[in-house]
Chains A and B, each alone.
Chain A
Amino acid sequence: MIKKTVEELEEISKEVRQDVIKMILKAGYGHPAGSLGMVDVFVAMYYDVLNHDPKNPNWVDRDRLILSNGHICPSRYAVMAHSGYFEHKELMRLGEFGEILQGHPDKRFLPSLETTSGPLGSGLAQGSGIAYSARMDKKRFRTFVITSDGEHDEGNHWEAVMFAAKNNLSNLTMIIDRNNIQIDDFTENVMPLEPLSDKYKTFGWSVLEVDGHNIEEIINACKKARSIYENPTVIIAHTIPGYGVDFMENNPNWHAKAPNDLDAKKAIKEIRTMQGRISPYGE
């Protein structure tokens, strides 16, 4: 695949954000805040970072991308559609009976997913198992795991943090969606995670921090992670939940609430005007 420029990727992000709103509106269910917040990371991954082939999704030497917090799957699905894994029209069948895009990622229906996921705290361990196996067999691919900040409440996650550090899994990179919200409230009110970066350093990981809406920064951090041979790397991606839609941004109420028609129209219009690059329709 010929790599696109950062400006081109930003345009794709906008299209994906509009898709995410439409998908969740149509499904009447979903997690818009986290989904919108991680669009730029998914675009960076699928269009630049990952060594993958949408036409041969189970290619044995592909990089793996595990999505631990499966509930933000609408944005992963939308980016997968844009990058050629399946037809774009599938997006509007999110969560419908018998369709490939199940409400939470289900590998039985969409085998090009690496894992079935949703229940929090297990993705890093699964990714660690893959990375450990790959190293046993001297495979060169990298395993990326996307986790949420809220799922850091789970014990299983920290068990895996210790396992990956113990085994110096330098072929493993985790990207944390640090958006500061979870279902009930802001993360720091539910269960404080800070100082998150220091926690990882003391647990034996290399830590990078990026603006999760700066595609170039995300790409560069992933490149840097590939060059760290000593230990696993975590990239803390600071994101704005609901990014691109003013009334959703930084608001925990939009963690797991689908927009109504009016909300969706407003949201899509806001996304179109992001950074003033595209003129809004009808104005």
Chain B
Amino acid sequence: MLNNKLNLSPDIFTKKIESKLMRDGFGHGLLEAGEKDERIVVLTADLKESTKVNYFADKFPERFIEVGVAEQNLVTIASGMANYGKIPFVTSYSIFSPGRNWEQIRTTIGIDGYPVKIIGAQSGLNIGHYGVTHQGLEDIALTRVIPNINVIVPSDYLEAKKATLEMAKIDKPFYMRLPRIESPVYTTEKTPFKIGKANILTESKKPEVTIIATGLMVYDALLAYRELEKSGIETIVINMHTIKPLDTETIIKYARLTGAVVTIEEHQVIGGLGSAVSETLAQNFPVPIEILGVKDRFGQSGKSKELFKEYGLTKENIEKAVKKVIARKNS
């Protein structure tokens, strides 16, 4: 059953569930954070509206800075502003930031730990028709490998908003990835959100597998959970909204409890959530793991649903992986 303590949406498995943009959650959160803290400045690389910093820009034009299509400049100017004492949020698409400007992020933000918040929108396969050049599938790997940088992957509108408000208060660099499409708002205002603390979405007396999901895949994991439950397989679904610092304590605890893990992310399987979970478990409590994600391939154009099916990111894929990992555990 669902974890009551989390106050998830009562509409979670109904058609009434509302769909919203995580980008809007970020944009609204940023506006609120900007009202609370005058040090917050926002920079964008010619993507004001699609990264939803227009709300902030309209309210605080004097704290909004357009740098043009120049992602290296985006983060290095932000580095200077943070060096001075500002709290910069910088927005672009994940393929360009942290894609194009990785070394600048490492050198001018990472090493000295400046509180620059890097927002990579339009990440993942879900951006669909834009095609391979714009589908950022490597951003989690690129950012989590840099010391000092925290990595957040929210799973719905409200979580994106809460994450934005939280990171604004923390004197450290952050990367947050956001998808393009709307997604079900399965949490509520009352659902707790703490950076570095995973949310355990389901409870069970005899769970067989732990499903650890991040971003858009969390809701699919919940749908898979429900289907599996119908066929008598109980699972624990974990929303790993923070990839770094990783909640290793929770991962180890549930690996012990269930003895098998499935991870799913809309990202390359190399270097992402599955890798991070595997690194933790291999060193602490090895159990069979199935890693779902994009398996060392490039994307292509198509509808989100078509792409998720082609690349193995559906609830059916999760169900299959759960059954496979149970067989491995029992063999």
**A 62-94 to B, binary, CB cutoff 8 A, 1 in contact else 0:** 000000000000000000000000000000000
- Residues of chain A within 8 A (CB-CB) of B73 are 125, 156, 159-160, 163
Q: Which residue of A115, A119, A132 contacts B65 across the interface (Cβ within 8 Å)?
A: A132
A133-B80, A155-B72, A156-B76 are known contacts. Are A118 and B104 too (CB-CB below 8 A)? Answer: no
In the complex, the chain B residue whose C-beta lies closest to that of A162 is B68
Q: Is the CB of A125 within 8 A of B111?
A: no
Q: In the complex where A122-B76, A156-B76, A159-B70 touch, is A108 in contact with B112 (Cβ < 8 A)?
A: yes
Known: A108-B112, A119-B103, A122-B108. A132 touches B81 (CB 8 A): yes
Please state if A125 and B80 are interface contacts (CB–CB under 8 Å): yes
A129 touches B72 (CB 8 A): no
Given contacts A115-B83, A132-B81, A133-B84, is CB(A126)–CB(B76) below 8 Å? yes
With both chains docked as a complex, state the minimum distance between the C-beta of A230 and any C-beta of chain B, in angstroms. Answer: 20
Q: In the assembly, what is the distance between CA of A126 and CA of B105, in Å?
A: 12
Among B73, B85, B104: residue with most chain A CB under 10 A: B73
Q: Name the one of B62, B77, B82 contacting A125, with C-beta atoms under 8 angstroms.
A: B77
Q: Are B112 and A116 in contact (CB under 8 A)?
A: yes
- The one of A114, A116, A132, A134 that contacts B77, using a Cβ cutoff of 8 Å: A132
Is the Cβ of B84 less than 8 Å from the Cβ of A129?
yes
B264 CB to nearest chain A CB (Å): 36
CB neighbours (8 Å) of B6 from chain A are none
- Residue pair A159, B72 in contact (C-beta under 8 Å): yes
CB atoms of A130 and B76 under 8 A apart:
no
Tell me the minimal C-beta distance from A70 to chain B in angstroms. 10
B73, closest chain A residue (CB): A159
B79 at the interface (CB under 8 A from A): yes
Question: Chain A contacts of B62 at CB under 8 A?
Answer: 136
Docked pose: A117 CA to B112 CA in angstroms: 11
**Chain A residues in 8 Å Cβ range of B78:** 129
Q: Is the interface of B mostly helix, strand, loop or mixed?
A: helix
Q: How far is the CA of A79 from the CA of B73 in the complex (A)?
A: 30
Would you call B86 and A156 a contact (CB within 8 A)?
A: no
Tell whether A173 is near chain B: CB-to-CB under 8 Å. no
Does A34 sit within 8 A of B, measured CB to CB? Answer: no
Segment 58-101 of B: residues with Cβ below 8 Å from A: 62-63, 65, 67-68, 70, 72-73, 76-86, 88
Which residues does chain A contribute within 8 Å of B107, judged by CB atoms?
A: 116-119, 122
Q: Which of B63, B67, B68, B80 contacts A130 (CB under 8 A)?
A: B80
Please give the distance in Å from B237's CB to the nearest CB on chain A: 40
A108 to chain B: which residues have CB within 8 Å? 111-112
Q: Give the distance to chain B from A92, nearest Cβ to Cβ, in Å.
A: 25
The reply to whether A163 and B67 form a contact with Cβ atoms under 8 Å apart is yes
> Known contacts A122-B108, A159-B70; can you find 20 more A-B pairs with CB under 8 A?
A106-B111, A108-B111, A115-B79, A126-B83, A127-B80, A129-B77, A129-B78, A129-B80, A129-B88, A130-B84, A132-B65, A133-B41, A133-B80, A136-B63, A155-B72, A159-B67, A159-B72, A159-B73, A163-B70, A163-B73
7 pairs of A and B residues whose beta carbons are closest in the complex: A129-B80, A125-B76, A159-B73, A126-B80, A133-B84, A159-B70, A129-B77
Q: Can you list 22 A-B pairs with a CB-CB distance of less than 8 A?
A: A116-B107, A119-B103, A119-B107, A122-B72, A122-B79, A122-B104, A122-B107, A126-B77, A126-B79, A128-B77, A129-B83, A129-B84, A129-B88, A130-B80, A130-B81, A132-B65, A132-B77, A132-B81, A133-B85, A156-B73, A159-B70, A162-B70
